[in-house]
Amino acid sequence: MNNKPVVLVTRRLPPAVEDRLRHDYDPRLNDEDRLYTAEELIQRAAGAHAIVPCHTEHLSAEVIAQLPDSVRAIANFSVGVDHVDLAAAKARGIIVTNTPDVLADATAEVAMLLILGAARRASEGERLLRSGQWDSWSPSFMVGTQVTGKRLGIIGMGRVGQVTARRARGFDMTIHYHNRRRLDPNLEAGAMYYEIVEALLPQCDFLAMHCPATPDTRHLLNAQRIGLLPDGAIVVNTARGSIIEEAALIAALQSGKLAAAGLDVYENEPDINPVFSELQNTFLLPHIGSATRETRDAMGFRALDNLDAIIAGREPRDRVA
Ligand code: DGY
């Protein structure tokens, strides 16, 4: 008889992570990698001790209220937890964990890719080549913004923000940042701290968004704050779409207030605002910040380390509720 704890896994995970799940648990895997409806998720959770979801599953208060009593843990395969109503989980005594630290390198790589891609008009150039329309070269052809030596503003100087700062220093960028708390001087490494966002923005040739999505950070970058950026600034976002007011970003890209934007995340994924694709001055990726083999394995193992601790009655390393 199989007495292993039953674990509902909502999406297909890396093979090594699923192997470990099969070894230690009785997992309900999603071989088709199909997105479950809320009803399916609740049904599939019947008798499960824990759920391992991704950010694609919306564990609202309503869904959490309908989970069976057997569910004791939500061990997220994600660092972001804005898809989970933490208060509702806490109220039901369901422990919630995430996967911090392990995404920092991969996500900072994408932040740099967005900075470079948006500044140097990479998407536009690629489209031109792929459509067979490149027919000439001139000194004024596809002139973009130089990255080297510019000022990079970072909102959210957690792990990803700090790695992005280190990578950007490789391009001789100077780092300016806003964070809830000022970093220790050794982590700051010469970066300039601004206690209020409004003071940071006029200093940014580039602005990289790295803060978590919470009710407090919703539309943190709005029309008024975009107005404080220097003309021709470039905004990149690898965090969550909800932290930027998209209508204001689009208006600034259309008016030329912003030279360009590089986006990996959107308010409504995967049905993004079609205007983003119509604009020439956007460099767009489909939420792939953590999508490397190394990082996806590390996320899975970190989620399972948390799950192992909860099942063993120990305090998990990454508890968020
Ligand atoms: C995260 O871990 O939050 C990434 O956005 C992927 O879900």
Q: What is the pLDDT along the chain (321 residues), one digit of tens a residue?
A: 579 999 999 999 999 999 999 999 999 999 999 999 999 999 999 999 999 999 999 999 999 999 999 999 999 999 999 999 999 999 999 999 999 999 999 999 999 999 999 999 999 999 999 999 999 999 999 999 999 999 999 999 999 999 999 999 999 999 999 999 999 999 999 999 999 999 999 999 999 999 999 999 999 999 999 999 999 999 999 999 999 999 999 999 999 999 999 999 999 999 999 999 999 999 999 999 999 999 999 999 999 999 999 999 999 999 999
Do 92 and 119 belong together in one domain?
Answer: no
Distance of CA 147 from the midpoint of ligand 1 (Å): 27
Tell which residue, 299, 295, 241, 225, has the closest CA to residue 52. 299
Do 186 and 304 belong together in one domain?
Answer: no
Range of the domain at 10: 6-102+293-311
Q: CB of 258 closer than 6 A to ligand 1?
A: no
Distance of CA 216 from the midpoint of ligand 1 (Å): 19
Please report, for residues 41, 101, 190, 191, 237, the alpha-carbon distance to residue 156 in angstroms, rounded to integers and kept in the order given.
Answer: 33, 14, 16, 13, 11
**Is 287 tagged catalytic?**
yes
Q: What is the number of domains present in the chain?
A: 2
Task: Answer whether residue 317 is part of any domain.
Answer: no
Task: Answer whether residue 158 is part of any domain.
Answer: yes
pLDDT on residue 1: 58
Do 229 and 271 belong together in one domain?
Answer: yes
**Is 40 tagged catalytic?**
no
Do 259 and 297 belong together in one domain?
Answer: no
Task: Answer whether residue 320 is part of any domain.
Answer: no
Do 279 and 173 belong together in one domain?
Answer: yes
Do 278 and 247 belong together in one domain?
Answer: yes
Do 237 and 304 belong together in one domain?
Answer: no
For ligand 1, atom 6: residue with the closest CA: 78
Do 148 and 88 belong together in one domain?
Answer: no
Do 214 and 65 belong together in one domain?
Answer: no
| Maximum C-alpha span of the chain | 74
Whole-prediction pTM value?
0.97
Do 160 and 244 belong together in one domain?
Answer: yes
110/287 Cα distance (integer angstroms): 10
pLDDT on residue 191: 98
Do 61 and 111 belong together in one domain?
Answer: no
Domain harbouring 307, CATH code = 3.40.50.720
pLDDT on residue 139: 98
Helix then strand then coil, in percent of the chain rounded to 5, is: 35, 15, 45
